[in-house]
Structure 1
Amino acid sequence: MTIVTAPQSPPGNVEVPRFQVDVHVMARWDRQILFTRQTAHGCWVLPTSPLQASESATAAVYRIASEQVVVVADPAFTWLAGVQHDHDPAGNRVGLYFEVRRFRGLPVIADRRLYDHLGWFSLDHLPEPMPASLGTALAAYQTPEYYTESGWSR
């Protein structure tokens, strides 16, 4: 029997990309999604945070829901809804969008320095303004398309 192992480093001078992974929480109530409005920019966003080195993506969902909008996401009703590879002046990022269909608690803003409003918005009437990458991800979410790219020239 021959055992094949993967090389420890890429062959030649291939640059291995390193990028941030952002976890986005789509708390759902019927056809509405919970958004928060950023105090600094006035943009509506989903509760989100970079994935920490020591946590799984689903653990990040529970942390973000608890820290940002003070709800407890139910693991049995939390699943990956989409993946986005985003490119902007800040660099490359991968966004993981998780849908949370059941949670405990009434959403409130935990840190008013970060967010000044929260609200439930229908998928048919999304809030404005919002980042273009989020609009792209939510449009794909409403179709069977689970992977999107944003900010790349074609």
Structure 2
Amino acid sequence: MDRPEVSCVFVCHDGDGRVLLARRSAQARDEPGAWDCGAGALEFGETFEQAVTREVTEEYATPPLSIDLRGVRNVLRPGSHWVAIVFAVRLDPAAARIGEPHKFDELGWFPLDALPAPLHSQLPAALELFTA
């Protein structure tokens, strides 16, 4: 990668203090076994909201009830540079399920003070913007 890419990161919540996290499968691009929020690359011509709606629906098999911009951060990792735009996305907990089983092998709703382990290395920074 020779230039930054844009990622829409979404911390899904139920409106009652719980967040939805997915455990990354053995086939995940990085950090298999880690719990993470969702994210996906912005495609050419998409608005942020269109990208978030597409990605949330693909990953969790249900559309967002609301989408709120929470902040922006640089994600600099060896060999990559992403501009991460972080959103809070409200979902219906009863409707959410794994939509991409090749990426995730478990979903769970967690209060912020009782998150599972291990967490993806980038999740704490996303949660910081989510709770700001």
> Same fold by TM-score, threshold 0.5 exceeded?
yes
Structure 2 CA distance for aligned equivalents of residues 55 and 115 of structure 1: 25
Partners of 1:108 and 1:20 in 2: CA distance = 28
Residues 140 and 102 of structure 1: CA distance in aligned 2, closer, same or farther (over 3 Å): closer
- TM-superposed CA distance for 1:65, in Å, is 1.3
Pairwise CA distance, 1:66: 0.8
State the 1:97 CA deviation: 1.3
The AA in structure 2 aligned to 1:19 is P
Match of 1:43 among 34, 37, 50: 34
Tell me if structure 2 keeps the 8 A contact 1:71–1:104. no
Q: What pairs with 1:69-84 in structure 2 (closer than 5 Å)?
A: 69-74=60-65, 77-84=66-73
With the length of structure 1 as denominator, give the TM-score of the two structures: 0.73
| Unpaired runs of at least 5, structure 2 | 27-31
Indicate how the Cα distance of structure 1 residues 105 and 62 shifts in structure 2: closer, same or farther if over 3 A, else same: farther
Residue 22 (structure 1) aligns with = 7
Question: Is the alpha carbon distance of 1:116 and 1:32 closer, same or farther for their aligned partners in structure 2, counting shifts above 3 Å?
Answer: same
Contact persistence 2:86–2:130 (CA under 8 A): no
1:114-133 correspondence runs (5 A): 114-133=103-122
Higher RCO (CA < 8 A, seq sep 6+): 2
Structure-1 residue corresponding to 2:19:
33
CA–CA separation in structure 2 for the residues paired with 1:59 and 1:103: 19
Give the match's secondary structure for 2:122: helix
User: 1:70 touches 1:105 (CA, 8 Å); kept in 2?
Assistant: no
Higher mean displacement: 130-139 or 81-90: 130-139
Structure 1 stretches lacking a partner, 5+ long: 1-16, 144-154
- 1: CA distance between counterparts of 2:93 and 2:13? 12
Tell me how large the CA RMSD over aligned residues is.
1.9
CA 1:115–1:81 in 2, change beyond 3 Å: closer, same or farther? same
Which residue of the partner structure matches residue 29 of structure 2? none
Please tell me whether Structure 1 or Structure 2 has the larger radius of gyration of its CA atoms.
Answer: 1
User: Does the aligned pair in 2 maintain the 1:80–1:98 contact within 8 Å?
Assistant: yes
2:127 is the counterpart of 1:138: yes
Q: By how many angstroms is 1:105 displaced?
A: 6.0
The code of the aligned residue for 2:98 comes to I
Displacement of 1:127: 2.2
